[in-house]
Amino acid sequence: MNVDKIITELLLEEGITKEDLELVDLEIGYSPVVPFKGSRPMEVIKLEGGFYRIPECPFVGLNITPESLTIMRYRYLINRH
């Protein structure tokens, strides 16, 4: 089983589809993210070179790709009250 298929299956367990992710706009000035299922919303910093960082959450790495951030932002959008 390849990595993309595993990731897709894990996202589907959260109710996240590729079509859903296409609706996420990363250019919105203030929009927190939820780094992983069950975590709280956190602030994001945009870095040079198109990467992002979540200072409060060292578990997700220092240079987050736009693709990963899109998933995290979608988690925030579907779970906000």
Q: What is the pLDDT of residues 10-48, one digit of tens each?
A: 888 888 988 999 989 888 767 899 998 888 999 998 888
pLDDT above 70: residue 9 = yes
Burial of 38 (0-12, 13-18, 19+ CB in 10 A): exposed
For 48-60, b/e burial (b = at least 16 CB within 10 A) is eeebbbbeebeeb
pTM, rounded to two decimals: 0.82
Give the confidence band of 71 by pLDDT, cuts at 50, 70, 90: very high
Give, for 74, the enclosing helix (H) or strand (E). Answer: helix 66-79
User: In this predicted structure, what is the pLDDT of residue 37?
Assistant: 87
Q: Which residues are bridge partners to 52 per DSSP?
A: 46, 64
pLDDT of the residue at 10: 86
Q: What is the pLDDT of residue 62?
A: 77
